[in-house]
């Protein structure tokens, strides 16, 4: 059965513009796009340009008439009722000059003001209760205490701090938070700021959807709400505009691409940039819901910060941040080591999903193995990790997987690091 395409969750439905004023961009910008696109393709038609630049035929025709009047294009013929044309010598010279400024020749950008309106209008509004939160996390074994903290935290759309010992599911919890969103949002291909192009839509992190509505401005892409996860590789430059020196186009930073969705900072405190630098960078956005970016030549501008940031760490929050910052992360959820009955249920789910037969007391015996040699806590990751080792051993020995005391002890010996004897 095909997955249901989520509906747009808000009344934000920008209409396809029919004039430059409605598009919010200058005629010069659109003319440059037409020149560069035609130069790239060799020849063009009005229909092809309308599709490539995501602009109405009416706007493309206005530019076409101007270029024809200025003798910057040459008509080569007709394809049906559409003109086929190429750039004249003067047109190629002008297009080459425009390429020196930047090489962008794709969807016409939306104005910064329009991006503000769209992002604010599509701020997530989550409705949850105990039943729906349990359904969203039904493939994890979580206690009512954790679920009853997650629900209000997600409804609040404020920052979330997941902390506790490693191996108990913090990352798994964070990655599943996106499930509480049942709607789609509109994300612009690009925005225009002070004559500069900033690319926003990124097919690597944005999941576009098949959504046909000819009345919606095609410069916006219908997507699932984004979820971007970054770990130890996070560096300060990823939070700022990046100018490609070859194309002359800016790429939006992580938090801008994550707008109207989730941004997960995994293994917080283990990044190349210090926790203090990261927290200082975001103390204003988390508090005021706005961020500030700077173009290469010093022009600073404001963008919305409608993103739920989730920090996940196995370090003590008080060692990472001061009280001023922790106050801005209003939801702090401790993900504790698992109790025996939770551990057994995780083990049962893992072996059932892998269709692995096991002896009756296997879960209890694995618990015993997990608490040997001075270990005092059961971790949610142990059953799956041990099962993976058992499967690898079976493949190595070219036999079916066996789950019994002998095999569990063998796997545990490979999995747990031995304490050095004094």
- For residue 98, the 8-state DSSP code is H
Asked if 159 and 71 sit in the same domain, the reply is no
Q: What's residue 270's pLDDT?
A: 84
Asked if 326 and 366 sit in the same domain, the reply is no
Q: Which of 3, 12, 21, 40 is nearest to 188 (CA)?
A: 12
Q: Which residues of 40-53 are buried (b: 16+ CB within 10 A; e: fewer)?
A: eeeebbbebbbebb
Asked if 327 and 354 sit in the same domain, the reply is no
Query: In terms of pTM, does the model score above 0.85?
Result: yes
Question: Which token pair is 160?
Answer: 């979330």
Question: Which token pair is 104?
Answer: 């962008």
Asked if 261 and 394 sit in the same domain, the reply is no
Structural domain ending residue among the three candidates 104, 129, 161: 104
Q: What is the CATH number of the domain that holds 303?
A: 3.40.50.300
Q: Which of 343, 332, 333 is nearest to 375 (CA)?
A: 343
Asked if 327 and 359 sit in the same domain, the reply is no
- Separation of alpha carbons 205 and 227, rounded Å: 7
Asked if 322 and 387 sit in the same domain, the reply is no
Q: Into how many domains does the chain fold?
A: 3
Asked if 54 and 125 sit in the same domain, the reply is no
pLDDT value at 148 more than 60: yes
Domain range holding 211? 118-334
Q: Which residue is associated with the tokens 């002359």?
A: 248
Asked if 330 and 365 sit in the same domain, the reply is no
Asked if 140 and 266 sit in the same domain, the reply is yes
pLDDT value at 1 more than 60: no
Q: What is the CATH number of the domain that holds 90?
A: 1.10.10.10
Q: What's residue 2's pLDDT?
A: 43
Structural domain ending residue among the three candidates 334, 361, 383: 334
Structural domain ending residue among the three candidates 334, 360, 384: 334
- Separation of alpha carbons 253 and 109, rounded Å: 17
Q: What's residue 316's pLDDT?
A: 85
Question: Which token pair is 231?
Answer: 């770990």
pLDDT digits (tens, 9 = 90+) for 199-230: 999 999 999 998 878 889 999 999 999 999 99
pLDDT value at 80 more than 60: yes
Asked if 94 and 205 sit in the same domain, the reply is no
């Amino acid at each position: 059965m095909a997955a249901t395409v989520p509906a747009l969750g808000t009344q934000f439905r920008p209409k396809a513009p029919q004039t430059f004023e409605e598009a919010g961009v200058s005629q010069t910008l659109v003319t440059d796009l037409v020149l560069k696109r035609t130069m790239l393709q060799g020849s063009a038609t009005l229909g092809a340009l309308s599709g490539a630049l995501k602009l109405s035929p009416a706007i493309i025709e206005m530019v076409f008439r101007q270029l024809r009047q200025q003798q910057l294009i040459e008509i080569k013929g007709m394809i049906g009722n559409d003109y086929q044309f190429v750039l004249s010598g003067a047109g190629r010279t002008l297009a080459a000059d425009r390429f020196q400024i930047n090489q962008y020749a794709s969807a016409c950008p939306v104005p910064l003001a329009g991006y503000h309106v769209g992002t604010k209008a599509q701020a997530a509004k989550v409705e949850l209760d105990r039943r729906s939160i349990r359904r969203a996390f039904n493939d994890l074994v979580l206690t009512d205490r954790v679920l009853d903290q997650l629900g209000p935290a997600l409804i609040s759309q404020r920052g979330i701090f997941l902390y506790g010992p490693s191996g108990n599911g913090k990352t798994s919890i964070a990655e599943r938070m996106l499930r509480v969103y049942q709607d789609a949002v509109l994300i612009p291909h690009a925005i225009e700021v002070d004559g500069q192009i900033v690319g926003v839509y990124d097919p690597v992190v944005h999941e576009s959807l098949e959504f046909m509505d000819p009345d919606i401005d095609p410069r916006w892409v219908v997507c699932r709400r984004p979820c971007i996860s970054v770990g130890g590789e996070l560096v300060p430059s990823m939070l700022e505009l990046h100018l490609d020196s070859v194309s002359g186009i800016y790429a939006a930073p992580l938090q801008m691409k994550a707008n109207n969705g989730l941004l997960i900072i995994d293994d917080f405190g283990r990044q190349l940039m210090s926790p203090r630098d990261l927290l200082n960078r975001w103390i204003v956005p988390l508090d005021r819901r706005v961020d500030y970016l700077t173009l290469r030549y010093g022009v600073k501008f404001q963008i919305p910060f409608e993103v739920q940031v989730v920090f996940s760490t196995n370090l003590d929050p008080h060692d990472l941040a001061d009280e001023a910052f922790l106050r801005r992360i209003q939801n702090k959820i401790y993900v504790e080591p698992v109790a025996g009955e939770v551990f057994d249920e995780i083990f049962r789910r893992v072996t059932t999903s892998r269709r692995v037969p096991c002896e009756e007391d296997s879960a209890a015996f694995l618990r015993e193995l997990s608490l040997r040699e001075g270990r005092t806590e059961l971790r949610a990751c142990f059953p799956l990790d041990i099962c993976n080792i058992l499967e690898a051993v079976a493949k190595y020995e070219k036999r079916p997987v066996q789950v019994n005391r002998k095999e569990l002890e063998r796997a545990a010996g490979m999995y747990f690091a031995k304490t050095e004897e004094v």
